[in-house]
Structure 1
């Protein structure tokens, strides 16, 4: 049995430049799924262009608590927003000023799921959290996944092992690629060809999950994201034919989160 790998492009809906980059990485690269940030203005643009350019692209939810305005009433999630009703940025949490409250995380996540449904006509089959979280976030996501019968990726609980989600294949290696110590300025072709990600050393009974931040730059990204030029490098790498050939040569099957559901 070959190794199954989800090659995901995060941040769909962050900006038009990111949206076009995700399309490029799916149509001409190895990306097999993407995750939408439903609360942002460019989310509608993302959905509209994907319907035309690649209607088969799997789109899940990249729940966002760090950028823009929430989908729920800011007054009901006071720990998550500033005086203007905008989400606190990541620096606020990293400095120790903020913390996540279970009821607020749950409320806003479900509100973003409702916005997702408005945009796409259905609830997301998979949810995860953008950039930063803690065990409180993971607990809320796990509970929501059980309640809605969907899949989630839990990233922020350290070594804690969560019970498997019923009805879904088991995932193993989780790679937030731009958080890896050997990735300094975006992913390069050589990282794949040398198997720096150790994709060929994993238990083939478990699905590998890789998250990338590929995209084109525009002013919104330059003004609002700490991840800038590495996105361009990553996009070029994911679209390089040598990477696709390496996947094929090693029997690495690219799947989406939809394929995790047991048949």
Structure 2
């Protein structure tokens, strides 16, 4: 039986260049889904693109970190922001605050609900949830995300993991197993395998091939690969000191070799809608 592969482009709405790249990666490449950043500056442009591209699955890329501010004020979500009302730039701060008991779950719920409602306000089916920098791997955030998926009838939540050695990889895998139990207990769908965290910003053809080979060797019936396509001439990309190779990822996702890799490793491109239907 052919395994199902969902290729998700993250950070839609971050910049106009990312919006253009995501559309091209879908129409001319292997991307089947995208995750929309409700706090992104280019949200309105992303919304217009999505309305013109009905074959692209839409999810919410929920954010507790990043260069763009939350939707709610510092008074409404004081444990999520600094004195300027800004999110931290790294997931490490989110984890440290939560581990120290300094994060109010109600603040997380209020902000992420506002973000999800903004995405839902487009009137398009929301097929999946995930988070900026995978912060829902942390149990407090993961529980909120699972609750929101159930409440708003979003069928699929991303289950990130890592194949990396060392303490970070081990920690991610431990948290991933815990998140899997949370999602399963909530009756939510997820893929059996995942790739994209280790390759963040560097999902070239070689990385894609290795991810597909690893998932095929594990016997996974479903796989999500998440990527970050962008364009080389994006004037807004300089705001982000991430070291991402956005334009190289776009080139890989639109390379005819990407489809050949998908077929060679026994996968078929699919949508989250299809994955959720198979789960039922």
Match of 2:120 among 117, 129, 152: 117
Q: Distance in 2 between matches of 1:36 and 1:256?
A: 16
Q: What is aligned with 1:159?
A: 177
> Does the CA contact (< 8 Å) of 1:146 and 1:165 recur in 2?
no
More helix by share: 2
Shift of 1:77: 0.7
Q: What is aligned with 1:244?
A: 259
Shift of 1:176: 2.1
CA 1:128 to 1:159, structure 2 compared with 1: closer, same or farther past 3 Å? same
Q: Distance in 2 between matches of 1:153 and 1:194?
A: 20
Q: What is aligned with 2:55?
A: 56
- Which runs of structure 2 are paired with 1:146-225 in the superposition (5 Å)? 146-150=150-154, 151-155=156-160, 157-160=175-178, 161-163=180-182, 164=184, 169-177=189-197, 179-180=198-199, 186-193=202-209, 197-204=213-220, 206-217=221-232, 218-225=234-241
Shift of 1:260: 2.4
Q: Distance in 2 between matches of 1:195 and 1:146?
A: 30
Q: What is aligned with 1:70?
A: 70
CA 1:25 to 1:74, structure 2 compared with 1: closer, same or farther past 3 Å? same
> Does the CA contact (< 8 Å) of 1:90 and 1:132 recur in 2?
no
Q: Distance in 2 between matches of 1:56 and 1:95?
A: 36
> Does the CA contact (< 8 Å) of 1:8 and 1:211 recur in 2?
yes
Secondary structure, counterpart of 1:261 in structure 2? helix
Q: What is aligned with 1:79?
A: 79
Q: Check if 1:226 corresponds to 2:225.
A: no
Shift of 1:175: 1.3
Q: TM-score under structure 2 normalisation?
A: 0.80
Between stretches 209-218 and 17-26, larger displacement belongs to 209-218
Q: What is aligned with 2:32?
A: 32
Shift of 1:137: 0.7
CA 1:109 to 1:84, structure 2 compared with 1: closer, same or farther past 3 Å? same
Q: How many residues align?
A: 255
Cα deviation code 1:154-210 (max 9, x no counterpart) = 446243241526665552112124x24xx8x72332334566651321334x31111
Higher normalized contact order (CA 8 Å, seq sep 6+, divided by chain length): 1
CA 1:91 to 1:45, structure 2 compared with 1: closer, same or farther past 3 Å? same
Q: What is aligned with 2:132?
A: 130
Shift of 1:237: 0.8
Gaps of 5+ in 1: none
Q: Check if 1:260 corresponds to 2:275.
A: yes
Shift of 1:116: 1.0
Secondary structure, counterpart of 2:250 in structure 1? helix
Shift of 1:256: 1.8
Q: What is aligned with 1:101?
A: 104
Q: TM-score under structure 1 normalisation?
A: 0.85
Secondary structure, counterpart of 2:230 in structure 1? coil
Q: What is aligned with 2:168?
A: none
Q: Distance in 2 between matches of 1:24 and 1:259?
A: 22
Q: Distance in 2 between matches of 1:253 and 1:169?
A: 18
Q: Check if 1:9 corresponds to 2:29.
A: no
> Does the CA contact (< 8 Å) of 1:214 and 1:234 recur in 2?
yes
Q: Distance in 1 between matches of 2:187 and 2:94?
A: 35
